[in-house]
Amino acid sequence: MAGPAVIVAGFGFRDTVSNESLSDALARALGDRPGESVAVFATAAEKATRLRRFAGAIPVRGIEQPALVAQDTRTRSAASIAAHGAGSVAEAAALAAAGPGSVLLGSRVVSGDRRATCALAQGRTT
């Protein structure tokens, strides 16, 4: 049975990402909802270890490529499609981690230094 509604922050990022880049992307995604509580961070499985170093106490879910590819993203980045098969890793990871029937709260946003992206999804994780 699905749990209560949660907000998931999905991230895509370059290998050269800093914690400041990730923090900036998250702040931009939260935008006018800074009081929202993010329950889970998500990213492509191969990037999960790096995201855990940023996440602190927030759980991180690494999403395997088939689950990323299965998501219908708003953004269609050629670079993301070439590297991961998904239009946006941030959007796809957020949707996959939020569970079936989840919805994006907006398109992904990009950090000021362009090294990280973040998208928020709301869903009911299992």
**What does the DSSP 8-state code read for residue 39?**
E
- The total of other beta-carbon atoms located within 10 Å of residue 120's CB is 25
pLDDT in tens, 34-58: 667 899 999 999 999 999 999 999 9
Domains of the chain: 6-123 (3.30.420.180)
Separation between Cα atoms, residue 67 and residue 39, nearest integer Å:
20
Q: How many helices (H) and strands (E) does the chain have?
A: 5, 6
Q: Name the residue with higher pLDDT: 126 or 123.
A: 123
> Which pTM value belongs to this model?
0.91
> Which of 68, 76, 115 is closest to 93 using CA atoms?
68
Separation between Cα atoms, residue 75 and residue 73, nearest integer Å:
5
Q: Name the residue with higher pLDDT: 126 or 82.
A: 82
**Residue reference for tokens 């990402």:** 17
Q: Calculate the average pLDDT of the chain.
A: 90
pLDDT in tens, 62-114: 999 999 999 988 888 878 877 777 879 999 999 999 999 999 999 999 999 99
Bridge partners of residue 40, in order along the sequence = 8
Residue partners of 45: CB distance under 8 A and separation at least 6? 62, 63, 64, 65
